[in-house]
Amino acid sequence: MNTLDSSYFNWLKSAVGIAFKIVILAVFIFPFLWMISTSLQTFRETLAFPPTWIPAVPQWGNFAEAMRAGPFLTYAKNSLIITVSIIVIQFAVMIPAAYAFAKYRFALKNVLFGLVLLAFMIPGQITFIPVYLMMADMDLIHTLWPQIIPFMSNAFGIFLLRQYFMQIPEEIIEAARLDNAGEWKLVRKIMIPMAKPALATIALFSFVSHWNEYFWPLVMTNSASIRPLTLGISMLRETEGISNWHIIMAGNVVLVIPILIVYLFCSKQIVKAFVYSGIK
Amino acid sequence: MNRKPIWEALRPYVLIAPAMAGIGMFVVYPVIYLVYLSFHKYNLMNKAKSKFIGWDNFTQLLTRGDFYKALGNTAVYTLGVVVLTMLLSLLIAVWLNKKTRFNAVVQAGIFTPHIVSIVSVAFVWMWLMEPDQGVLNFVLRSLGIPASDWLQSSKTAMISVIIVSVWQSIGYYALIIVAALQSISPSIYEAAALDNASRFKVFTKITLPLISPQLFFILIIMTIGSFKVFDTVKIMTGGGPNGATDTLVYYIYGFRTTNIGYSAATSVVLMLIIGLLTFVYFRLLARKVHYQ
Amino acid sequence: MASIQFVDVSKTFDKQAVIRDLNLTIEDGKFTVLVGPSGCGKTTLLRMIAGIGPHTSGRVLIDGKDVSRIPPGQRGVAMVFQNYAIYPTMSVRENIEFGLKNNKVPKAERKRLIESICETVGLAEYLDRKPSDLSGGQRQRVALARAMVKKPSVFLMDEPLSNLDAKLRVQMRIELIELHKKLGTTFVYVTHDQVEAMSMADTIVLMNKGEIQQEAAPEAIYHQPNNLFTAQFIGVPPMNIGELGTEGARFGFRPEHAVLSRQLPPESALHYQTRGTIITREMLGSETIYQIRSGSDSFMVKSAEDLYRVDEEVFLGVDASKLHFFGGDERRLESSDPRAAGYLELLRRRP
């Protein structure tokens, strides 16, 4: 009898808990569903009150209209070029630096590493004016470079990777040296494979944050040909009119869907990457 | 014969050279140049015509009402975001901390906004907060609560922006706290149960002290992050209505072409604020982090 | 002080039965050691007593009272955890005080108790330290003090010595025996180390795969093992076992009960005799352990003298009274069992 009682109580408790959790989940997921729903509505449907939850006939044309509002193919191409270039350059710069900071002793090491940490602290919101002036001086302002090259040194990445390299036991490195492995081979065959989780974390982190970047392109670009997707979408409101929510949402879906698809397939890794970056 | 040792001595510097060059060019130099600019009246058309004006930019800054307004708005925004995010993410984390499949799904769900572009987040919320056709007012009215003007009234614009920021970041901070909670050994809780500790006591005397380093980390990260708020403001309110959501970075942004020297001076002030927060963080961290 | 009873207790983890219909009585005031290989369910039993891993069905009684619905903190039990589970953010004093505070013990009383306990376990000068500043042995003492201060009627210990180095472990073993003598409360101690079990227990409860194999005093468990498992779990090296070649029966003898000689001893002197070659020799100082191969069997022999060398041919003999027989069901046969006499005869006639 007693056990029956408590099992009923437990069942009730977990049912209430689950219901509550579903409500919380809805608060975070509903806006995205609403975005998708709106992107398929007619202008009339968006004006209805109470709101139209599910459009009568999905208006796929909204996407075409949103895409006609600007050179979106160029925007998407720019976003892709910028994001991929940043990740490639960052890796090329970061791995040797992290290795040196982790495994060598040299004069001024602490000062130099302090500079890396400093770079970690200083946001683009502070440096953008001087960097813009510098880019203008170098006559690069009409190219994609101002959106790529300032991110060449990923301070967070160097920091994280150095931690990882430092954890690799000295014995493994010594064993490799005894096996007559050169420095380059050592990095390629031992350090990099062992630091794979960290590298994946950094790549994911870089991808998500640069694909979503808004502030930097806003202050670095003056012409449509070098704008990334985020800026293009953000300008929809000006080009399409502030009340054309169905078109704006259609553009929004185009911006969000790639990230959401990636997230759907590797949410575990992405979550881990972000949480890890927060704890370390 | 002598070549190898020289190469070995140089090698670390060669390896870090590209990284240091990047940092020098895009962090160190800009910071120095920013300070330089803040003492000048900069002429964008003709650099040669720029002139040194001493502390003028700063005195102007400290006597202008709109600067204080932006600073105050930023402080209000920061306070709101930090307090709300902290409380809610702690609550959600404690609640989702058990390792079950359903909890993992909920965690992934509440984390989603964090990886989506701020542009999308801002747009979706502007649409939800639309006073006439927006879903939020529809919900309020259905519940018999008077509708709000959200972003379009100077009274509610700031809280609306805060809500959006909190919504976007809760998932991230909740997960950091969950990770911290899960790193606590279960036997500590069992020992507490044997010590006849109430749930409240377990939370205040054991759980909270044990995750306090992470909470503190979050606090600082959030504070610094909030002080440089820009994107939501730019997209959702443009600093309005009536300057109600004008924040420091938006203020800097506003003068970036018209008065570069003045803009730079404001940036220097922002940098000092962030620097001070970071300094306080590391000082306190050094004192707190020494256990286990 | 209290006795503990398990009545038809079962426990399932994720729908897997770990313990099924177990019955056991732990006597009041005794030092009882639950021992067995990892995963045998010994810690599960201990956690049931504490109430931190409740049983799925059946009853657990402390002092005759069913405690199934009593929360851990109100059962009058205290526990020392394997990893000590000291509250890392509290000082030594706060750690010990925490349970007292929760039980609303007045402040003056708390102070007195803490000071007297710390005197006993030798922590007096560390009261205001944080656990991170203490050595492993000191943390262990904090865990002990924290348990003792509550004056529990049952003392539970989950492998409390496994994180200490060998020397300290032996010392703590003696201290725990003395502590038990002094307090006179019921001690339930879990370990996978049979030496620890033998040296400390009044009663050993030997478990395997969720079942009790034998419950007896150390002497009894050593000399009259219930079954093959017990015979081979207790003792270093464990009991030698050989096939009898009939009905799946086996014979066994302890390594120290075998006598080695270079010449075949007179016919009648020893009951079981065989010839073999020494494969390994471990000189441990006070004794030497030989491994001897004889046909397909391999026996360990413990000898007080160090007379033989590797590869030497020796004769091995065991007295009839030192031989154990196990039936096809792996249970040991009493010497009164008619089958035992038959097996004894069988063994004598073996070449």
Residues A172 and A199 in one domain: yes
C52 in B contact zone (CB under 8 Å) = yes
Same structural domain for residues A38 and A105?
Answer: no
Q: Are residues A80 and A54 in the same domain?
A: no
* Range C294-320 average pLDDT: 89
Q: Which amino acid is at C346?
A: L
CATH placement of domain B57-288: 1.10.3720.10
Beta-bridged to residue C291, according to DSSP, are C280, C300
The reply to whether A48 falls in a domain is yes
User: Are residues A201 and A160 in contact, defined by beta-carbon separation less than 8 angstroms?
Assistant: yes
Topology of domain C4-228, CATH: Rossmann fold (3.40.50)
The domain tally of chain A equals 2
On the 0-12 / 13-18 / 19+ scale of CB atoms within 10 A, C214 is buried
Q: Rounded to whole angstroms, how far apart are CA atoms C39 and C22?
A: 16
Report the helix count and the strand count for chain C, using DSSP H and E.
Answer: 9, 18
Cβ pair C77:B206 closer than 8 A? no
pLDDT tens digits, one per residue of C31-64: 999 999 988 999 999 999 999 888 888 899 999 8
Sign of CA dihedral C270, C273, C277, C279: negative
Q: Is pLDDT above 50 for B290?
A: no
Say if the Cβ atoms of B124 and A122 lie within 8 Å: no
Q: What is the pTM of this model?
A: 0.84
Mean pLDDT over B252-275 rounds to 90
Q: How far apart are CA A98 and CA A103, in angstroms?
A: 8
Please tell me the distance from the alpha carbon of residue A7 to that of residue C138, in angstroms, as a whole number: 43
Question: Rounded CA gap, A244 and A238, in Å?
Answer: 10
Question: C315 and C267 in contact (C-beta within 8 Å)?
Answer: no
Structure-token match 């006639």, residue found: C349
> What residue type is assigned to position B221 of the chain?
I
| Domain shared by A217 and A151, yes or no | yes
- Inter-residue contact C73 to B193 (CB < 8 Å): yes
Rounded distance, CA A80 to CA B81, Å? 32
* Chains with 3 or more CB pairs under 8 A to chain C: B
C-alpha to C-alpha distance for A74 and A97, rounded to whole angstroms: 34
Rounded mean pLDDT, B25-42: 91
Mean pLDDT score, A85-91? 96
- Show the beta-strand stretches assigned E in chain B: 40-41, 51-52
Place of tokens 């027989």: C325
Task: State how beta strands C186-191 and C154-158 pair.
Answer: parallel
Cis peptide preceding C237, ω within 30 of 0: yes
CA distance B11 to chain C (A): 40
Cβ–Cβ of B292/C87 closer than 8 Å?
Answer: no
Nearest C-alpha of chain B: how many angstroms from C47? 10
What gap in Å lies between CA C252 and CA C223, rounded to an integer? 12
CA distance to partner chain B, nearest, from residue A2 (Å): 22
Report yes or no: C213 and C225 within 8 Å, Cβ to Cβ: no
> Are A26 and A79 in a shared domain?
no
Q: Do B274 and A129 touch (CB under 8 A)?
A: no
* Over residues A250-268, mean pLDDT: 86
Q: Which CATH superfamily is domain C239-348 in?
A: Nucleic acid-binding proteins (2.40.50.140)
- Domain check: are A42 and A76 in the same one? no
The answer, yes or no, to whether residue C203 has pLDDT greater than 70, is yes
Residue type, C214: Q
If pLDDT is split at 50, 70 and 90, which confidence band does C255 have? very high
Residue A241: per-residue pLDDT? 73
**CA of C154 vs chain B CAs: smallest distance (Å):** 12
3-state secondary structure C263-277: CCCCCCCCCEEEEEE
From B193-207, B272-286, C314-328, the region with the lowest mean pLDDT = B272-286
Is residue A241 one of the residues assigned to a domain? no
Helices (H), chain C: 42-50, 92-102, 107-121, 136-148, 166-183, 194-200, 218-223, 228-233, 338-348
Q: What is the DSSP string of C223-248?
A: HS-SBHHHHHHSTTTT-EEEE-SSTT
* Co-location of A49 and A157 in the same domain: no
SS3 B273: helix
The closest alpha carbon to A163, from A133, A194, A132, belongs to A194
* Crossing angle for the helix pair A109-121 and B260-288, to the nearest 10 degrees: 120
Q: Helix, strand, or coil here: C166?
A: helix
**What pLDDT band is residue C351 in, cutting at 50, 70 and 90?**
low
Helix (H) or strand (E) holding B8: helix B3-23
CA–CA gap between residue B38 and residue B261 (Å, rounded): 5
CA A169 – CA A179 distance, rounded (Å): 16
In whole angstroms, give the CA distance from residue A248 to residue A240: 8
- Whole-number pLDDT of residue A4: 47
Q: pLDDT higher for B90 or B53?
A: B90
A40 shares a domain with A92: no
Residue-level pLDDT at B292 = 38
Chain A residues 92-121 within an 8 A CB cutoff of chain B: 92-94, 96-97, 99-101, 104, 106, 109, 112, 115-116, 118-119, 121
The residues pairing with C273 across neighbouring beta strands, listed in sequence order, are C317
| pLDDT score recorded for residue A81 | 95
| Full DSSP string of C108-155 | HHHHHHHHHHHHHHT-GGGTTS-GGGS-HHHHHHHHHHHHHTT--SEE
Q: b/e string for B7-38 if b means 16 or more Cβ within 10 A?
A: eeeeebbebbebbbebbebbbbebbebbeebb
Buried b / exposed e along C66-105 (16+ C-beta atoms within 10 A): ebbeeebbebbbbbbbbbbbbbbbbbbbbbbbbbbbbeeb
pLDDT at A279 over 80: no
Q: Do B11 and A128 touch (CB under 8 A)?
A: no
Residue C146 to residue C94: CA distance in whole angstroms:
10
d(CA A66, CA A245): 11
The closest of C189, B105, B267, B235 to A28, measured between CA atoms, is B105
pLDDT band, very low/low/confident/very high, at A47 (cuts 50, 70, 90): confident
Range of the domain at A12: 2-62
Q: Which chains touch B (3 or more CB pairs under 8 A)?
A: A, C
ipTM for the whole complex: 0.87
State whether B205 and C90 contact (CB < 8 Å).
Answer: yes
Instruction: Please tell me which of the candidates B198, B201, B291 has its beta carbon nearest to residue C88.
Output: B291
Q: Strand (E) positions, chain A?
A: none
Using one digit for the tens of pLDDT, what is the confidence trace for A116-126? 988 888 888 99
Q: Where are the domains of chain C?
A: 4-228, 239-348
